[in-house]
Chain A
């Protein structure tokens, strides 16, 4: 492994007193002062997250939409320009290589945002998919003589990893839009933020640099994610904090991000999602379009996975939370394992996500989590645990 890296905002985090944690090969702020205060700020006002560790790929030109229909699990070609979609990079056996958000920025232009720790895996998967897709289409369109790319000519899309050149800041919480609208130097030239739908993006400039703003997030609150070139990252961070101060904006770290996403029932790669989990197990079959002609993982997903463990939400009383790796019991039988758990800061009782056998997964089933030797009763409940008021 290479040395952990810092984002362009390292100095800002240090001067704010952040504690750092290694996440996906990056040293990221885990909290500034209080993870609970940061959590509550996001639910009640807004939090500012540096998520520049995340990986960004542009997939563009040629038949980019057709290619992404092949490379990703969802039907990307059906996504309107201006909108975003949650999707998967799958392995041939249907296991999840990564979960991603795809933004369509033009007819044949897409931004794919992937998890930091999966950057190399996603880059490799997109490259492999591109080669396979090119071979298939070159053959169909052929006859092939020489290299496939030459047959496809201008139809071959390009994949560019711009993760090292870009910073991504998330403003999340009910006041997010007010804050971004009030931020000096931001000029939205596309759809006005007031008219921007959920899972949609707009464009503009910040301090003379390109600005991409998406109404997406990972907290269960309304919010915006802002992508800029690294060179203006510090200026944007400062401008957002300044504009956000009257609205209650606070910098927030990965500890709060984790409890926020858990309350919202959102999976975290490495916990709920992995190479050995297919989307249906995690309740995410809706992000797969199995009737597409061909896509990476299609054959694997055709296998019967009905007897595999499924992801459920568990709620308990008291204060003792199940945590990743703790065993889950149905009576005396061990039926699964917790993948994420915490004492919910918003709900004030323990919540957990767990993979359990299908027979023990019905809503209302009374299970128990082995919390360091004590069986804590836990009830299977509908996700999300927390849903924001409209």
Chain B
């Protein structure tokens, strides 16, 4: 099991796992549940540069479209091809196999992240 307390979060319901300079990004189980079954994910190209709080992709369920915001600024170094092929991984394992992309973080840019307690509070305790 992923240690959810070790992750950082955004108000847009992304989670971030930081390992040295590379951050792995996904969406939370709370967001996945709200979306319903994810049927399509559109991720930025490897090598592209994303900016914190800007839209960098889309997550579509049968019922709705969610925008994916970059939680941090930096270069996309890897995307999860498995989730592109099988978007249901976002629902079945949002903190694990359903990860979306990895960003080499530009440490000069500021980031506005939440800890687990702040994120849970943001969802009204539902997360």
Q: Show the binding face of A for B, using Cβ within 8 Å.
A: 19, 30-31, 34-37, 39, 255, 258-259, 319-321, 323, 342-343, 345, 372
Contacts and interface: CB of A to CB of B under 8 A. Distances in A.
B62 A345 contact: yes
A259 B62 contact: yes
Given A19-B33, A34-B91, A319 B40 contact: yes
A168 B56 CA distance: 44
Nearest to A318: B40
Nearest to A345: B62
A320 B37 contact: no
B40 A36 contact: no
Contact of A372 (B39, B62, B65): B65
A320 B62 contact: no
A321 B63 contact: no
B63 A258 contact: yes
A292 to B, nearest CB: 40
Contact of B37 (A34, A258, A319, A323): A34
B36 A321 contact: no
Contact of A343 (B42, B58, B62, B88): B62
Given A19-B33, A34-B91, A320 B63 contact: no
Contacts of B34: 19
A342 B62 contact: yes
B78 interface: no
Interface band, chain B? 10 to 19
A31 B34 CA distance: 10
Given A19-B33, A34-B91, A319 B65 contact: no
Nearest to B40: A319
A355 to B, nearest CB: 21
B63 A35 contact: yes
Q: List the 6 closest pairs (A to B, CB-CB), nearest first.
A: A36-B37, A319-B40, A343-B39, A35-B36, A255-B63, A35-B37
A36 B88 CA distance: 10
A35 to B, nearest CB: 5
A19 B37 CA distance: 13
Contacts of B42: 320
B118 to A, nearest CB: 24
A46 to B, nearest CB: 19
